[in-house]
Structures are given as structure tokens and as C-alpha cells.
Structure 1
């Protein structure tokens, strides 16, 4: 612990100049893949080759299979079981095209067969451990676990999640067997380009329970009590102890509400201080079920909310104005020496048939208009290309 409404079924029925060029920056750069929530549990687990027990404890849904059937009523039959790569759909071609050096996701589920459902929650996500190959199919390097679903099936479920992911060769950040492991960064070595360090944190504002905080000898998440100067100091000490010359540091934070574009002043101030005082090169925010504004602060990117890249919400009504079916694949390229942003590309996606698809034209229009509106106050603009991908402009 560092001091300082999930979507379930409620009922069933300014002129901006382009960024300054950094000669050679991309040739010596590190391109990351970042996204928001990847929710491979519950309904999605049921279409994979090894579905776990479907039992749920929700007010209106008692089986995870119900989420599959709900989606099929809206978007058509899903021929199950699907193969492990199915979920990623068009994202696989984007990975091949962009060739990011590191792939980081917020994995919003436990990976467990535990039956120890958290008694104080009504929404529980779990993916059967045998379905972990859906993550290796996309060559995911690091799963952020500091979120409000990783302990849905108890501390035993978290321990199985850690063992399963590590056994598959996937690094984790933000949760651990004790507070030291939960606070430790995931380390990704890039020969000739240094290392990427991923620190991850969860906050109560996103639904992470204080009771889930890791402690001495107690498994849990790396919990942020507040956004104070003292918290920044603590993070700065942790980063300083781990960071070497040439390292790039990602601070991945599960914070804020699921819906809404407003960014609290304290979040913005905290993100600025992470960069200015704690040695962070990119702030990777998530919890919102839709993409939020992007800010570039002193040459370093701040993603306040990345939306849901993949979930089982098809067929669930409510909050349509936020277009929770749309998301972005974020591909920032950072200078490997300075950590400064050299280029920022994005690909618009849509979840359909429990699969990541390239967003249709109207979806790309919505993302462009919405993020340009929200980014105006931060001096950022989405420049759309003919293939419905985007490049961020800032000035």
C-alpha cells in the first residue's frame, strides 16, 4: 500500500502546430502498445476452448453463458468454442503492421478456477487458467493487475492468477504475494534499447477495495490511498530505486469513474507530478469504459482513460452516448534516451462478437470528434488518416 459501477446487467429486457521533429528519434525509439481494460473473464471465457464454471452471483444473471446469449441476440451467433487468437481479431494485423516493442494491457479479470467469490461484490470476473493462451496468442508482455476485478475470487484466486501468468511467461505489475511484490515494477528488457519498467497502482475511485491492498505476508494489489505529495514522494523513491539510465517508466493507474469525460484537477496535478518529480515517462490511465482526453506534459504522454478494448457488454443497454463499444489501440513511440514522445499513432477499434474489430467509419468519426473536443483544453488533436488510424498532434 502506498500512502499518500462495473458493467453488469441491471435489467435484462484553436490551431495546433504539429509536434517538433526529433531527428532519428523513431530509429532509436521504443514503441509501446497500450490499451484499457481487457476483460477476458465471464462471458468471453465461456466461448474459449476451456470455459470455467459459469456460475455467477449477480442480481439478474446467474450464469456467464447468459452474457454470450445476450450478445448473440444483438450481433448474431458466435460459433464456439473459438480459437485462442479469435478475441484479438483485427488487432493481430495491427500488431504485425506496427511491430510494437512492448505490449501492455490492463487485464481486468482473475485467471483462476477458485470458488471463493468475494462476498462484498455482485460482479465477478474469472477466466479459466487453461485459457491463458488467449493472451500469449497476442504476445502480451505485461498484464497490469491493479484493478477492481483481480481479487473477485479471493486471495487464492489472485495467487493462481499470478502463478498462471508467470508460468505462461507473462510479466505482471500492480499485484503480488505481498506489498513488496505488488509494488515492484515489471521489467521488460529490450536489447539495444534499454528496459521498460511498468509500475501499476489501483485506487478506490475505480472500485478497488481498500481491503484488497497488499500487505506484509498478505497478497493483494498495489493500492494508492490518495494523490498527495507524500504519495508522489513514495513513488519517486520506488522509481528511483529501480530506474537506470536509458530505462523508460510507465505508471499504469486504475482510477476514476467508468463513465464521463471530466478529469478531476487532482488527477491532472498528480499525473504532472509523476512526470516532473517521480521520473515517469508515460501515465497509462484506465477504468473509464470509453477513451478520454490525452495530454502531453513536458513531452511526456498522459492517457487519462483508455476505454475497454475487449469486454462482454454487447447486448447490455445504458450509457450509449459514451459509445463503450469503441476503443483505441495506443502506439506511442518514445525516445529511448530521453523518454520524450516522438510519435503517437492510434487505431480505432470496435468490440463486436466478443472480438476486436477495426472500427467502422462512423465509429472512427465519433472517436475523432469526441477526442478532439476533449483534447482541446490540453492542446492535443487527433489527425485522421485514410485508413481510419490516427496520429496525435500536440503543440
Structure 2
């Protein structure tokens, strides 16, 4: 079976009208595979069928795309897509359910969201001429109200995403422990295991003996955002919620029993500090566990950048597949929260429009990775990896720190970027592939480059 893997689709404009050779060449690669996967990072829906924005505390884009664009993705060759991400609930349960409905209407199999946790977690199955395919889609980094939940007694489950909730531990040395506890006591926010202090509920849910938390006022009605662990060094260590892990591994095991090829897609918008070039520990642990449970391909995304490739037990783990469409600048309507979070004068809301700058992350400065990625061609036979090739693409800007504009739209003060994937050539292709080479080498994976294409050495 030949499988094509495309990256994060922040797609907001119809594109089936375009026929440039550089663009069509990319689409032909998607269409020629036995199976093509992509990650949909938008919501498909009409303004009349969604709710008000469901979040207001995060700087980011609010994605809502004309549902006809789902048809364009299917026209481009996308067969199956993951839907679980930190934008899945941008427009509430109505937007989440509309997205799944419009994908289904377009003929795209999908996984990762649902009317309750069971539906969000269950594998999506797709019949192909070379065998049955399953996809499990998971998201890390969502707000609590975005997690799907199961029904109980007469209470319905909550619509949302299939979550893998991360737990962050902050390892600090003894001097720091003393200082942090002293600060916590002085401010009245120190919470220690077994202390019985009022207001500790939830904050220490995942803490072990000897660990402590600082009950920041805005976190006191949640499960908390910090667990400090005495250590001999400083480090941020992540792990995954044990119930989420167990439930998702059951879904993978089901898929391995019911399908010939199993894919797991993991969207993680959190990191152990700055978004560098190394995936968080909990992502690596989960990827390995999925392969152990029967997954054949693991695809990670969420940082909007390419990361290394690991071959674990003969199966490929792509930790960061990067962007495939980058069109957040063309969101048709931006809610109040978007303007407020970017610091615009909301007293003049009536004068603000979607053309206002800035409104979207990743677009306010040069980015070497936002505007490029690679389409991956994977060959599998009898459950074994037989080949993997990387075909670099650029999304309308030069692949460099300055990200010079190549294909613009409009003539405003801040030029907009077309954001569609074109075949990368020359220095652009070299930079995309060199990054994959360098970061994959950290996992013991050797990638050779020839004629603008990367190949995995098996």
C-alpha cells in the first residue's frame, strides 16, 4: 500500500480553480497514492449553523471555512483526516459537529471529535483496494470544556475532542524548593500533599508525596498548572493522563484487530517550555506505546513546524509533519475575542475588520518553518515499512529566517501570503530536507537527499 501524508491544513479559501504546475504537481502526488491522509485544522461550517466562539483567553486564530472547501480537499485526493486539535471547538459543539458532517458529506473519513468521548475516541475506518485502514486521532493542549466526556446515568456526554491530557512536572533543586515554598507561604498560595489546606482540591490531583504546587488564584478552581518536584537539577518533565492513555491504547488495539493498516494522529499544541526541535516526552512515550499496541504509522503535528522522524520497531513515527496549507490570514469573520487578544482597541470594534494586522500567530515575524514542510510518501507491505520519501513544499514564502514573500495576495500595508503548497526547489528544498536530516539523525534515522527528494535509508 502506498500512503501519502500531508500536514496541517489551515485552509480557508477554495483552491480547485488553480492549475499552476507547481501546485498541481503536489496534488497529483496526493491523488496517486492508495491512501492520502491530512490533518484538518479548521472548522467547516456556515455562519448560520455555528455557535458563538467558545473561547476568549488565547491568542490565536478562530477558524471557520466555507464547507465547500472540504470538497476541494477531497478533490485534491485527501481520503482520511484527523480533526482533533486546539481549534476543534472554536465555534462550540455546533461548529465541531458541522465540521465532521461536512467532511462526511465530501467523502472524507475522519476521526478525533464527536458527540461524546466514545464517538471522539473510536477509530475511523476506510476501505481501500489494498486493505482496510483505521485512524485514531488525539489532541493535547485543549481547554477543559473542549474535552469530550462519556455519558453517565441520565446525563449526556459532552461533545468535544479525544484528549490526551498532559501533566507537567517542574523539577527544581533544593535551594529552589526552599525559595519557592517560602514565597508560596508568604503569598498564601503554597499547597503540599497531605496538607489539607482549603483550596487544595484539584491542584494536587496528580501529585505524589513530597511534591507541591503554587495555587495561582486563576487556577484554584481547576486541576492546576504546576507540580514542583524536588530534584538535583532543573527540568520540565511531561507525562500523559493515565486514563486518557489507557482509553486511547484500547482504541488502537481495536483498530489493529479490525483493520490492516493503523494510523495514529496526535495534535499537540503544548511543549516543555519553548517550542524547540524536540517533541515533549509524553508525546514520544505515547508514540512508542501506540506502536507497541499495533499502530503502523504515527503522525504528530501542532507546532506548525517539521520535527524528526524515528523508526521504532520498524514503524515510522513522524513527530512533526508541519503545515500543508497556511491561510489563517483569510479567515472571513474574526470574533471580538480575536481583536481583543491581539491588543486592538475594542472600543472601536465597528471599525475593525479581518484585514486588521496583526490577528494571527506565526505571521508577525519571520519563520523558517511556518511556510514549508514535506509531503511524505510511505510504502507499506505486510505491515512492514518498505520505503519513505520526502517531497518538500513551500507555501508562498522563501524557506529562510526572513521568509521573503513569493506569492502574495492583495496590496495592503502587510502583504498576505497565498498559503498553498507548491513543489519546493533549489535552496528551499535543500533547507526543508536538511532540517529533516538533522532532526531525524537524533533518533538514529538516516535520510539521504538526491535531486530535491529525501529518502529514508532502511
TMscore range, shorter length: 0.7 to 0.9
Please tell me whether the aligned partners of residues 8 and 39 of structure 2 are also in contact (alpha carbons under 8 angstroms). Answer: yes
Q: Distance in 2 between matches of 1:111 and 1:313?
A: 14
Is 1:153–2:197 an aligned residue pair?
no
Is 1:104–2:120 an aligned residue pair?
no
- The CA RMSD measured in Å over matched residues stands at 2.4
Q: Distance in 2 between matches of 1:92 and 1:318?
A: 29
Which residue, out of 94, 114, 118, partners 2:29? 94
How far apart are 1:229 and its partner, in Å? 5.6
Please tell me whether the aligned partners of residues 281 and 301 of structure 1 are also in contact (alpha carbons under 8 angstroms). Answer: yes
Q: What's 1:165 paired with?
A: 103
Is 1:185–2:132 an aligned residue pair?
no
Q: Distance in 1 between matches of 2:279 and 2:70?
A: 34
Q: Secondary structure at the match of 1:343?
A: strand
Is 1:251–2:191 an aligned residue pair?
no
Tell me whether 259-268 or 291-300 shows the greater mean CA deviation: 259-268
Number of residue-to-residue matches in the alignment? 317
Q: What's 1:316 paired with?
A: 363
Q: What's 1:76 paired with?
A: none
Q: Secondary structure at the match of 2:284?
A: helix
Shift in CA distance, 232/157, structure 1 to aligned 2, threshold 3 Å? closer
Q: What's 1:393 paired with?
A: 457
Please tell me whether the aligned partners of residues 173 and 182 of structure 1 are also in contact (alpha carbons under 8 angstroms). Answer: yes
Please tell me whether the aligned partners of residues 345 and 392 of structure 1 are also in contact (alpha carbons under 8 angstroms). Answer: yes
Q: Distance in 1 between matches of 2:96 and 2:112?
A: 12
Q: Distance in 1 between matches of 2:107 and 2:295?
A: 25
- For residues 188-235 of structure 1, the C-alpha deviation after alignment (integer angstroms, 9 at most, x for no partner) is 1123x321110000001xxx2221111233221101124256544333
State the TM-score, normalized to the length of structure 2: 0.64
Q: Distance in 2 between matches of 1:323 and 1:237?
A: 34
Equivalent positions of 1:1-395 (< 5 A) are 30-41=1-12, 45=13, 48=14, 83=17, 89-96=24-31, 99-113=32-46, 114=50, 116-120=52-56, 121-122=58-59, 123-191=61-129, 193-204=130-141, 208-215=142-149, 216=151, 217-226=157-166, 227=240, 231-244=244-257, 247-255=260-268, 256-257=270-271, 259-276=275-292, 278-312=293-327, 316-320=363-367, 322-335=368-381, 337=382, 339-352=383-396, 353-386=418-451, 388-394=452-458
Q: What's 2:222 paired with?
A: none
Please tell me whether the aligned partners of residues 85 and 134 of structure 1 are also in contact (alpha carbons under 8 angstroms). Answer: no
Shift in CA distance, 376/209, structure 1 to aligned 2, threshold 3 Å? same
Q: Distance in 2 between matches of 1:144 and 1:261?
A: 23
Q: What's 1:54 paired with?
A: none
Q: Secondary structure at the match of 1:251?
A: strand
Please tell me whether the aligned partners of residues 292 and 374 of structure 1 are also in contact (alpha carbons under 8 angstroms). Answer: yes
How far apart are 1:347 and its partner, in Å? 0.6
Q: Distance in 2 between matches of 1:362 and 1:172?
A: 35
Shift in CA distance, 103/296, structure 1 to aligned 2, threshold 3 Å? same
Gaps of 5+ in 1: 1-29, 50-81
Please tell me whether the aligned partners of residues 30 and 77 of structure 2 are also in contact (alpha carbons under 8 angstroms). Answer: no
Q: Secondary structure at the match of 1:324?
A: coil
Please tell me whether the aligned partners of residues 125 and 135 of structure 2 are also in contact (alpha carbons under 8 angstroms). Answer: yes
How far apart are 1:251 and its partner, in Å? 0.8
Q: Distance in 1 between matches of 2:111 and 2:26?
A: 23
Gaps of 5+ in 2: 152-156, 167-239, 330-361, 397-417
